[in-house]
Amino acid sequence: MARAIWSGSISFGLLNVPVKLYSAVSKQTVRFRELREGDGSRVKHKRVAESDGKEVPYEKIVKGYEYAPDQYVILTKDELSDLEPQRSRAIEIQDFVDLDDIDPIYFEQPYYLGPDKGAARAYALLVQAMKESHKVAIARFVLRNKEHLAAIRPMGDVLTLTTMRFHDEVTSPGDLDGEVFEEEKPKKPDQREIEMAKQLIESLTGDFKPNSYRDEYREELLDLLESKAAGKEVVSAPTEEVKPTKAPDLMAALEESLAAVKGEEVATDGKASKAKPKPKPKAKSSSRSKSPSSKSKSSSSKNDSAATNTAAGSKKSTARKKAKA
């Protein structure tokens, strides 16, 4: 059961809607412990002073801001506490805007907002009104002693809240000082090239299906951990070299790409002809070797998986649980 991590109220005009905040994401990061090579002893990190190497207790540590090399301004815990934003329980809506007006670069962390006790009717009213107006609310609120800017919008019958970056936290492309185009500024594309690129984009356009995209690196890492936990020999697979395109120029590359999507072949004269239907590729197994950083595979896992499945089942389950811990 989901647990609320914050409670307060959405406030705009004279309307106050009590709400609870829930996390909208569950990160599936594979975490590792640091161990000493040889005996597997856990490694601990200690806070030590640079001047004498002695360990410093947490209560003796203060915050310092380095305003010049090795020059610090010290702030006490009381001084920092006085500067913290007031622990308001209100999500104060300041504006309503169109979603298309917000560049995705400003979005940060997503949450769900649910109604608190006695607020179901007012909450449903706000959801429906925002749905029909097609607007996004821009608000401010305090979470974990930090003031946040946030965007609130409906998703089905619930409201979502996404924390946002402030304007001065986002780097403008104009601030890159030519780092993007270090060698030379690109020439304006030819109109025929633009049209061909637009055709390629259109031919690859479809509905966004989140479940079509998987974290392949994490899956392969868990496969590797399971194989090692089962006592299998792990052999590194050869690295796949990236093959350069055969097209001699940009236009030819576009024509070749578009023809490939349409199932055609580009002849030497540049004209496309219908290609013979190719047999459908066999379904890939869960273990892949696309990423150079995840090439380590068990050479015997494919052939021996059926034989070892029962014996290593408990070990695999344990390894996966520990990896996700």
pLDDT tens string, the chain, 325 residues long: the values are 678 999 999 998 888 999 999 999 988 889 999 999 999 999 999 999 999 999 999 999 999 999 999 999 999 888 887 877 666 789 999 999 999 999 999 999 999 999 999 999 999 999 999 999 999 999 999 988 889 999 999 999 999 999 999 999 998 887 776 666 666 666 788 888 899 899 999 998 999 898 998 988 899 889 989 988 988 887 776 667 766 555 557 788 888 888 888 776 555 454 555 545 544 444 444 444 344 344 444 444 444 444 344 444 444 444 454 444 4
Give the pLDDT score at 84: 72
Q: Compute the half-sphere exposure of residue 274: CA atoms within 13 Å on the CB side of its CA.
A: 2
Give the pLDDT score at 237: 66
In 3D space, the residue among 53, 139, 127 whose CA is nearest the CA of residue 96 turns out to be 139
Phi and psi torsions of 16, nearest 5°: -125, 125
Phi and psi torsions of 301, nearest 5°: -65, -35
Residues 6+ apart with CB under 8 A from 64: 72, 73, 74, 75
DSSP H helical segments within the chain, as ranges? 77-83, 120-133, 191-203, 216-229, 250-262, 301-324
Question: How many residues appear in the chain?
Answer: 325
In 3D space, the residue among 189, 184, 132, 142 whose CA is nearest the CA of residue 163 turns out to be 142
Burial letters 137-146, b for 16+ CB under 10 A, else e: bbbebbbeee
Q: How many Cβ atoms sit within 10 Å of the Cβ of residue 215? A: 12
Q: To the nearest 10°, the Cα dihedral for 41, 45, 48, 50?
A: 100
Give the pLDDT score at 184: 65
Give the pLDDT score at 101: 95
Hey, what are 244's tokens? 């350069």
The angle at the Cα of 281, spanning 268 to 198, to the nearest 5 degrees, equals 50
Q: How many Cβ atoms sit within 10 Å of the Cβ of residue 255? A: 20
Q: What gap in Å lies between CA 63 and CA 59, rounded to an integer?
A: 11
Exposure of 227 by Cβ count < 10 A (0-12 exposed, 13-18 middle, 19+ buried)? buried
Pairing state between β 136-143 and 146-155: antiparallel
Give the pLDDT score at 100: 93
Give the pLDDT score at 262: 79
38: left (phi over 0), alpha (psi -120 to 50) or beta: left
Give the pLDDT score at 300: 41
Residues 6+ apart with CB under 8 A from 109: 25, 162, 163
DSSP H helical segments within 60-158, as ranges? 77-83, 120-133
Q: What gap in Å lies between CA 12 and CA 127, rounded to an integer?
A: 14
Give the pLDDT score at 302: 40
Give the pLDDT score at 64: 94
